[in-house]
Chains A and B, each alone.
Chain A
């Protein structure tokens, strides 16, 4: 790579963020302040969490297709929730709640931002580490504590909470309304701790992006991945503080005897409860003020990776880079003013529902800009169908499918019908769940050679992609139809619901469950490939196997402890200089000056 002699100022400035390589195992791998190790820690946490979450979703599916079936092993682990192996409806709700919580917080929030963001943001902007390395370590370990608290909810008396991942009161606020136990309290404590971890992490990301960019790396030359991590961090900074407040209020309602979220006159188990003055709608406002930005916290980094990968493997610059940046910012900004569309049936004023609806429709504009620009990026490109490319194209497909159903749900009149049906389940799983997961697969397969210095097995990756891609449509496609029946969500069984029995809902549930089992099994192909490739994959000591342009591909694989080995990278161009005319290669890395790209004499100056 091209280097410049750094000015004394810059050298000192960069020196600040370098730290000596630790020697002992504890400081190198456990309490490491190295952003790369912390990134991998986040990723490992997410991998553990995603398998927990998948197992829970399988239990949910099994309970739906066969309410009376017995699973003796399950009965041994959960004698109360599944006596003699038969899952109770309460147990079903608890598994549902934990599935949502684990997936949203521990997977969709940690892996894209904490995992990939931590690992690659500093490298892509040419920094030695994050702005606050120790705070970074603290963020991860706080997240880990949060994960342990959440898992502890499984084993305490009364079991895991059953109020859904949204924790709606009064069910979540009244211990007397559920099985006695501290499951819900642990859940709330976990969320509160997670909020603190996330907002500290977000602060770190923002400072890093603003302050530590290498010389020449203007904001508008940043890779789109960095833009999405940056905007995601801003969302996290603003959203998690509010959820923290809501969580504290709910904890007080449960444990101190306040009634912020509990109205007067509720009857629980034939007794009028002793609370008055609060409102469950208040929780919904506070929760969704966080909850909607959270959706974008999950999906934005996936969008960044997709843009990045599509450009790299279509060998074309990102179509409309600036529009992409503005779209990311617009989606982030609008994300804060649409929370009411989760509450159309809450009893909120129809006038505010109208406002929220119009604002929600507005999100369609930047989303469409992104989608068309992704297509524009691929259009006429020399596409290389590698597995990260397949996952990115899959991301676009899922984003469009999930986005279209969002337009239905954003209208109050239609949402009155669809609210709390499987249509909603299908919608948010496609767009927020699976699309974000595809973004992670794209990122993992794309960056794997850089992170581990090995190649993954491409044919296995492609088999995994196709099974997963078809599998998720087989799971969530039919759910749209279930929602139109309308089939309410969160019902543990439908055997006694007559109108559902006549419409083939039971058969569809069976189909979905089979598809879910197969799709989950396919994930073990990936797990096998991932683990095997780390230890016995084909060596890849090449710096830039994908012929990509950004700074991480200018350093060895895997990167050394000191990312740029004491050198200060200089950036000369935008992040997606592909298909160059007159250049020695068809692409130019960000750290290549015109001389390195075109040879002497430079035939033209490259704009950014």
Chain B
């Protein structure tokens, strides 16, 4: 009962007896999950905008180290998206070993992102005295929104790394199909895309223009 077997899929049809959108169940399911998850993130980003407008918002981040560091994190995450593209492409060309390698590379960059992010969190908490409940810059919600939104994103990255690991192992053993690699890729790109909203909103907009 492997669901979403691309090979057994009927031609796209609204007449019944097949998928009207010409993708496997798993892929359609992942797209729907992404819709739902993006609403969760939207709710948080709207909350951020709401409290930001309602309060005297501090802009304590500086070009160095905050922006430089977060830019490196962004590049690491974007690189992981690139390796994921190679993984999906290799899987579709039937290059199993190559695809698995690229998946591991993606997981590696994902892990690197988490490590860098964790380091940054430690720095902010220990050196800057910034916590979810208080900070020295101004309204306590600055720390609250920062840790909540980046934290939820980090949770998604960690989940994604675990997911990639499972897919890599399953795909190598032939239990999972190229389609499954692509579905994992969808999730991974989505998590990257969320970061492309978080980065400007949370980091760049919190930088004082000197």
Contact = CB atoms under 8 A, between A and B. Distances in A.
Interface stretch (A163-171, A179-187, A216-224, A445-453): A216-224
Given A279-B50, A282-B51, A259 B25 contact: no
Interface in B1-23: 1-3, 5, 8-10, 14-21
B115 interface: no
A214 B16 contact: yes
Contact of B19 (A19, A210, A240, A260): A210
A260 B10 contact: no
A532 B140 CA distance: 60
Interface residues of A, number: 55
B47 A286 contact: yes
Interface in A274-298: 275-279, 282, 286, 289
Interface centre among A204, A215, A258 (most CB of B within 10 A): A258
Contact of B28 (A207, A213, A216, A245): A207
Contacts of B25: 131-132, 207, 211
Interface centre among B2, B10, B36, B148 (most CB of A within 10 A): B36
B200 interface: no
A206 B32 contact: yes
B170 interface: no
A13 B141 CA distance: 52
Contacts of B196: none
| Majority secondary structure, A binding face | helix
B16 A215 contact: yes
B139 to A, nearest CB: 5
Contacts of B2: 16
Interface string B33-44: 101111111111
A278 B1 contact: no
B47 A218 contact: no
B133 A256 contact: yes
A26 B84 CA distance: 40
A451 to B, nearest CB: 24
Interface in A234-260: 237-238, 240-242, 244-246, 248-249, 252, 256-260
A133 interface: yes
A244 B40 contact: yes
B16 A218 contact: yes
A278 B51 contact: yes
B54 interface: yes
A279 B37 CA distance: 24
A277 B142 CA distance: 10
Contacts of A217: 15-16
Given A16-B5, A132-B29, A241-B40, A260 B17 contact: no
Nearest to A219: B14
B17 A277 contact: no
A237 B35 contact: yes
Contact of A258 (B14, B144, B152): B144
Contacts of A19: 1
B131 to A, nearest CB: 8
Given A244-B40, A278-B141, A10 B54 contact: no
Interface in A297-322: none
A207 B2 CA distance: 15
Contacts of B208: none
A563 to B, nearest CB: 15
Interface residues of B, number: 44
Contacts of B44: 245, 249
A17 B35 CA distance: 25
A462 interface: no
Interface string A126-155: 100001110100000000000000000000
A17 B54 contact: no
Nearest to A199: B36
A18 interface: yes
Interface string B42-69: 1110010011001100000000000000
Contacts of A282: 47, 50-51
A215 B140 CA distance: 58
A9 interface: yes
Interface in B53-98: 54-55
Contacts of A600: none
B168 to A, nearest CB: 21
A241 B36 contact: yes
B54 A249 contact: no
Interface string A434-472: 000000000000000000000000000000000000000
A214 B55 CA distance: 56
A12 interface: yes
A211 B144 contact: no
A258 B28 contact: no
B156 to A, nearest CB: 13
B15 A203 contact: no
Interface string B103-122: 00000000000000000000
Contacts of B20: 210-211
A13 B39 contact: no
B129 interface: no
Contacts of A219: 14
Contacts of B37: 241
A46 interface: no
Given A10-B17, A219-B14, A282-B51, A259 B144 contact: yes
A571 interface: yes
B19 A259 contact: no
Contact of A240 (B36, B54, B133): B36
Contacts of B133: 256-258
B138 to A, nearest CB: 9
A199 B33 CA distance: 8
A540 B55 CA distance: 67
Contacts of B35: 237-238
Contacts of B38: 241
A477 B106 CA distance: 62
A241 B43 contact: yes
Interface centre among A12, A259, A260, A275 (most CB of B within 10 A): A260
Contacts of B139: 276-277
Contacts of B47: 245, 249, 260, 282, 286
B29 A213 contact: no
Interface string B164-175: 000000000000
Nearest to B8: A12
27 contacts: A10-B10, A12-B5, A13-B18, A16-B5, A16-B8, A131-B29, A135-B29, A203-B32, A211-B18, A211-B28, A215-B17, A216-B17, A217-B15, A217-B16, A237-B35, A241-B36, A242-B43, A244-B40, A245-B41, A248-B152, A252-B148, A256-B132, A259-B144, A260-B47, A279-B54, A282-B47, A282-B51
Given A10-B18, A245-B39, 20 more contacts: A15-B8, A125-B16, A133-B3, A203-B36, A210-B19, A211-B28, A215-B16, A217-B15, A237-B32, A237-B36, A238-B35, A241-B43, A245-B41, A245-B47, A256-B133, A257-B140, A258-B133, A259-B144, A260-B144, A276-B140
Q: Which 3 A-B pairs have the closest CB atoms?
A: A257-B133, A215-B17, A245-B43
